[in-house]
């Protein structure tokens, strides 16, 4: 088993073509048939929270369902493993629930199987009654401004994958020793995560499952100032109160918030009245501004909230290849015509913010699509037009369904809705085509064997899991993650 390469973007875009295999029919003549013939073969593509919640609800909702989960990584659990911050262990407890799902006799996990390279969507649709796309978002939005390719500029996703030991980012090696300032573009929860990791005391991080190379880099970091830059104001900050409270409470960190930025207009006050979350976030920022005002910050690290600014270009340092500053344009808010919605517009005033590291936390995008797969309550549609038809047997859940929003638990409701659509179609007899009996798991195994794909089953993941935990015990951590593709595959053997 060699190193698995991520699928080329152009190849993934082909997934939206939704090739309809022979045996599929778009007619509704089967609707009157007797429902719930056994078994129902289901394939879930992606083993993150959306995928596992879908598998769990499917197993509970249909006693004849056989669910196979495939993932391009040899490790399950998606963003719970590679996205949740290492200092948030309570969020990762959900893997215990997902492990119980995987232990169900009617559920199987196939890691190291990549959709589009190892098995095509067309092959899966020929093999399974139901295919659910749950593979989330593994690419990043681009700002599209000059200088974005300078060294020292990363997406927040790349940085998060790096400190979480994701095999695709284990060689990222961001330089944390050549600057004292980092700029984080964005003020959502992910932005707060990366800022908190840069500022948190490394002795606290040492007790987490952070990757060892990331901990070493943070121990040697010279970064003392982190700037969280947002296009709009404190009322519109996209973070939750819980995340904000945590970063505001970091030890030995002085918080800077300009009092002028906290002045609210009638439209802001309307937003505060209509949203409990926005009210709590604004209150926390206001209290922090007062609490830190006039305090001596000698020897402390600094966290700066920079509101009403948008990046317009990245400026190089003296070497010409590394980022040295971000040019910011001052903004103001204007009503865009929607009730309670204010957007940032440029004022034509500019300023430069010096830094040697930039992390862009401006959102993700799903590979193969430029947004969201068109769907109706999880049922994939052939297009976004009014004449779109439902793609038989094909469903979507998670970020591919709704966009990169929400927390881990958001996927539970999302999965429930998609599974309800599947069960509804099953009751209508839509999976009972007499000339297209599906092989399900047996068919998948035949495909993988023919292509000599050496997959990682769940019991092999348990070997990885055990080795990581044993290595972690030696360092008083929950686990020491195995970081490279080859080492993961060797541990699985």
The owner of tokens 């060689």 is: 171
Residue 212, domain member (yes or no): yes
- Choose among 407, 489, 476: nearest CA to 215: 476
Is residue 448 annotated as involved in ligand binding? no
Is residue 131 annotated as involved in ligand binding? no
Is residue 100 annotated as involved in ligand binding? no
- Our count of domains for the chain comes to 2
Q: Are residues 243 and 145 in the same domain?
A: yes
Q: What is d(CA 235, CA 255) in angstroms, rounded to the nearest whole number?
A: 17
Q: Are residues 264 and 348 in the same domain?
A: yes
Is residue 191 annotated as involved in ligand binding? no
pLDDT value for 385? 80
* CATH code of residue 317: 3.50.50.60
Is residue 187 annotated as involved in ligand binding? yes
What is the distance of C-alpha 309 from the center of its chain?
25
Q: Are residues 152 and 233 in the same domain?
A: yes
Ranges of H-type helices in 145-230: 156-163, 189-199, 202-205, 212-219
Mean pLDDT, rounded, of the chain: 89
Residue 179, domain member (yes or no): yes
pLDDT value for 435? 61
Handedness of CA 287, 289, 292, 297 (dihedral sign): positive
Q: Are residues 318 and 377 in the same domain?
A: no
Q: What is d(CA 368, CA 16) in angstroms, rounded to the nearest whole number?
A: 7
Residue 19 pLDDT > 80, yes or no? Answer: no
333-366 tens-digit pLDDT: 998 876 658 999 999 999 999 999 999 998 655 4
Q: Are residues 147 and 282 in the same domain?
A: yes
Ranges of H-type helices in 355-405: 399-402
pLDDT value for 364? 59
Is residue 147 annotated as involved in ligand binding? no
Domain boundary, last residue among 337, 365, 393: 365
Q: Are residues 270 and 157 in the same domain?
A: yes
205-233 tens-digit pLDDT: 999 999 999 999 999 999 999 999 999 99
DSSP 8-state secondary structure symbol assigned to residue 151:
B
Q: Are residues 166 and 77 in the same domain?
A: no
Residue 385's domain comprises 40-138+366-492
Residue 6, domain member (yes or no): no
Q: Are residues 348 and 374 in the same domain?
A: no
62-90 tens-digit pLDDT: 999 999 999 999 999 999 999 999 999 99
* CATH code of residue 61: 3.40.50.720
Is residue 50 annotated as involved in ligand binding? yes
Strands (E), 72-210: 107-110, 130-133, 139-140, 153-155, 181-185
- Choose among 356, 308, 350: nearest CA to 333: 308
Q: Are residues 190 and 239 in the same domain?
A: yes
How far lies 493's CA from each of 109, 452, 457, 461, in Å?
16, 16, 10, 9
417 three-state secondary structure: helix
Is residue 346 annotated as involved in ligand binding? no
Is residue 309 annotated as involved in ligand binding? no
Residue 294, domain member (yes or no): yes
Q: What is d(CA 306, CA 233) in angstroms, rounded to the nearest whole number?
A: 9
Residue 22 pLDDT > 50, yes or no? Answer: no
Q: Are residues 99 and 220 in the same domain?
A: no
Q: What is d(CA 173, CA 152) in angstroms, rounded to the nearest whole number?
A: 10
Domain boundary, last residue among 319, 349, 365: 365
pLDDT value for 477? 96
Residue 305, domain member (yes or no): yes
Is residue 279 annotated as involved in ligand binding? no
Q: Are residues 236 and 326 in the same domain?
A: yes
Is residue 232 annotated as involved in ligand binding? yes
Is residue 289 annotated as involved in ligand binding? no
In our burial notation (b when 16+ CB lie closer than 10 A, e otherwise), range 36-49 reads eeeebbbbbbbbbb
Tokens of 255: 């918080």
Q: Is the pTM of this model over 0.85?
A: yes
Domain boundary, last residue among 334, 365, 396: 365
- Choose among 42, 25, 41: nearest CA to 33: 25
Residue 295 pLDDT > 70, yes or no? Answer: yes
Q: Are residues 351 and 391 in the same domain?
A: no
246-270 tens-digit pLDDT: 999 999 999 999 999 999 999 999 9
How far lies 274's CA from each of 112, 134, 269, 277, 339, in Å?
46, 33, 9, 9, 11
Residues in Cβ contact with 208 at an 8 Å cutoff, skipping those fewer than 6 apart: 86, 87, 89, 477, 478
Q: What is d(CA 337, CA 389) in angstroms, rounded to the nearest whole number?
A: 32
- Choose among 454, 461, 451: nearest CA to 120: 451
Residue 331, domain member (yes or no): yes
* pLDDT tier for residue 410 given thresholds of 50, 70 and 90: confident
């Amino acid at each position: 088993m060699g190193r698995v390469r991520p699928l080329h973007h152009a190849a993934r875009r082909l997934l939206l073509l939704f090739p309809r295999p022979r045996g599929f029919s778009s007619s509704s003549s089967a609707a009157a048939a007797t429902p719930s013939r056994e078994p129902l073969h289901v394939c879930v593509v992606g083993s993150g929270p959306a995928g596992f919640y879908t598998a769990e609800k499917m197993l509970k909702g249909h006693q004849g369902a056989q669910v196979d989960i495939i993932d391009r990584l040899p490790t399950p659990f998606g963003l719970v493993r590679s996205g949740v911050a290492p200092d948030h262990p309570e969020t990762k407890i959900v893997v215990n629930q997902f492990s119980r799902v995987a232990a169900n006799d009617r559920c199987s996990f196939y890691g190291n199987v990549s959709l589009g390279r190892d098995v095509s969507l067309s092959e899966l649709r020929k093999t399974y009654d139901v295919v659910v796309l749950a593979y989330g978002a593994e690419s990043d939005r681009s700002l599209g401004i000059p200088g974005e390719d300078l060294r020292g500029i990363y997406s927040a996703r790349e940085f998060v994958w790096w400190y979480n030991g994701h095999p695709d980012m284990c060689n990222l090696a961001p330089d944390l020793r050549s600057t004292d300032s980092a700029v984080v573009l964005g003020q959502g929860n992910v932005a707060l995560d990366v800022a908190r990791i840069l500022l948190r005391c490394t002795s606290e991080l040492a007790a987490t499952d952070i990757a060892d190379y990331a901990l070493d880099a943070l121990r040697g970091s010279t970064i003392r100032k982190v700037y969280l830059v947002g296009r709009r104001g404190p009322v519109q900050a996209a973070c939750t109160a819980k995340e904000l409270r945590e970063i505001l409470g970091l030890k030995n960190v002085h918080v800077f918030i300009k009092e002028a930025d906290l002045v609210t207009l009638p439209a802001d006050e309307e937003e505060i009245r209509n949203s409990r979350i926005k009210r709590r976030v604004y209150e926390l920022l206001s209290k922090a501004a007062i609490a830190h005002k006039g305090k001596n910050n000698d020897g402390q690290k600094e966290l700066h909230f920079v509101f009403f600014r948008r990046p317009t270009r990245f400026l190089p340092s003296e070497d010409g290849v590394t980022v040295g500053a971000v040019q910011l344009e001052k903004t103001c808010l204007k009503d865009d015509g929607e009730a309670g919605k204010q957007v940032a517009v440029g004022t034509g005033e500019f300023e430069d913010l010096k830094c040697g590291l930039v992390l862009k936390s401006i959102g993700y995008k799903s590979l193969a699509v430029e947004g969201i797969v068109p769907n109706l309550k999880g049922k994939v549609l052939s297009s976004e037009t009014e004449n779109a038809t439902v793609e038989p047997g094909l469903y979507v859940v998670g970020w591919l369904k709704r966009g990169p929003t929400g927390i881990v638990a958001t996927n539970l409701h999302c999965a429930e809705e998609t599974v309800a659509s599947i069960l509804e179609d099953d009751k209508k007899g839509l999976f009972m085509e007499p000339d297209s009996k599906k092989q399900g798991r047996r068919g998948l195994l035949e495909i993988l064997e023919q292509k000599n794909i050496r997959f990682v089953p769940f019991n092999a993941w348990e070997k990885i899991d055990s080795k990581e935990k044993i290595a972690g015990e030696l360092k008083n951590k929950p686990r020491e993650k195995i970081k490279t593709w080859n080492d993961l595959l060797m541990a699985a053997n």
